[in-house]
Every structure is written in structure tokens, then in C-alpha cells.
Amino acid sequence: MCFTDGVWRLLEPLRAEEREAFLALAHRRTFTRNEVLCHEGDPADSLHLVEDGHLSVRGTLASGATATFSVLSASDYVGELALLRADRRRTATVVALEPSRTLAVAAAAFDGLRSRNPGVERIVSTLLADRIDDLSRRLLETMYESLDRRVYRRLVELALAYGGADDTVTVVPLSQGQLADLVGATRPPVNQVLKRLADRRVLRLGRARIEILDLAELRRRCPA
């Protein structure tokens, strides 16, 4: 019960037999396109290990509007933050962007894993720090980097999440509005950046999809 490219980082501290025993407690869940895994504010009763497909993580703003924070793919997981909170409430809404599959691990099993394996507790702390670092990096990008570079970087990240390579066309099934959420900008200026890229044949725009035609060029425009 594991995706073929390796193991989820959360389970790396475990011995192989411990990992298999833990995964044996999981239940495979399948979701159709646009199906909701959980709603923000729901009681948190499980951790989801993403096995296949892509999921969007969305939150509600003070204005009542929703924003897409991140896109998850195989090897990612979601729900561990809620299980660590005192109130055990979901902090975001998670939606399947396409037919997707997860392994759902009940909260009791996750708690047992943490209590029996100090290494898991340490890596959870490391992963939480990584999430904070990522949020801090994106905040700095929003404050100090041009919109164009932010769009290029998000497109590269999305292309790689969808298995993109420099010599292939990669379809990212997100709308321009969802991309604007990920960039931290409004849709009109993001659309202008995308149109310029489309004019240069770096990408092609479709209905609720962006086709990356020249990933190498996008990489060149946003060097690490």
C-alpha cells in the first residue's frame, strides 16, 4: 500500500515492518474531480496520504472569498496540522482537482504512531518548520519580487508536480483564477503575464487548464 516512487516523508523514520503495519491501518479513499475531502472547520478525524492525483488546499478569507494555497500530489499528505491542534479542527478545505486516491489514517492510529516512535515526532516538527519556511518565502516573494517572476515560479512548480519535463507538453488543470491565488495576486494582472507567455509560445491557455509548452524557458526566467 504505497506509491511506487518511495515513501511518504512522514514515515521515513520507521523501519520497513513498522511502516507496513501502520499503512495496514489505513483505508484507501477515492475521490472524483471536484469532490471535497474535508471542509475548513470540520472535526479532524484522519490524516490523508496522497497516493495518486492532485488536490488543492483552499482557505476562506475574511471577506468570505476563497483562495487556493497549494496543490498536493503523490508523496504529499494533508491533515496532520489539524491532528496536532488542541481543537482538532480542519484549517483548510481540500478538493480533488482530478480523480484522486489517498490512504486515510485514523487520528487514533496517528497518535499511536507518534507515541511509539519519537523519530516521527521529530520529523513532524521539522515538517511544520518547513511549512513555515515555505510560507515565509512566499510572503517575501509577494513583497519584493515582480509579479512576472512569481508567475514563472508557480508555473514551474506546477509543471513539475504534474510530471513535466523540458521536452514534453505538460497540462496543468488549473484555472487562471486559481493560479492567481497561488501567486498571491488578482486575476487581471496574472492574465496579462500569461498572455505574454502565450504570445511567445511558452504556454497555451485553455478552459480551466494551462498547457506548458516550454518548461526550459520558464526555468530560465526564474533561476533559483
- Residues 152-202: pLDDT tens digits? 999 999 999 898 888 889 999 899 988 998 888 889 999 999 999 999 999
Nearest to 120 by CA among 89, 69, 83, 92: 83
User: Residue ranges per domain, the chain?
Assistant: 9-142, 146-221
Is 169 strand, coil or helix? coil
Confidence (pTM): 0.77
Burial 180-200 (b: 16+ CB within 10 A, else e): bbbbbbebeebeebbeebeee
Q: Tell me which amino acid residue 70 is.
A: S
- Residues 78-93: pLDDT tens digits? 887 767 777 888 888 9
State the CATH class of domain 146-221. mainly alpha
C-alpha cell at 33: 474531480
Beta bridge partners of 106: 46
Q: How far is CA 66 from CA 81, 82, 194, in A?
A: 20, 19, 22
- What's the pLDDT score for residue 166? 82
Average pLDDT, the chain: 85
Q: How would residue 8 be classed by pLDDT, with cut points 50, 70 and 90?
A: confident
* CATH 2.60.120.10 describes domain 9-142: yes
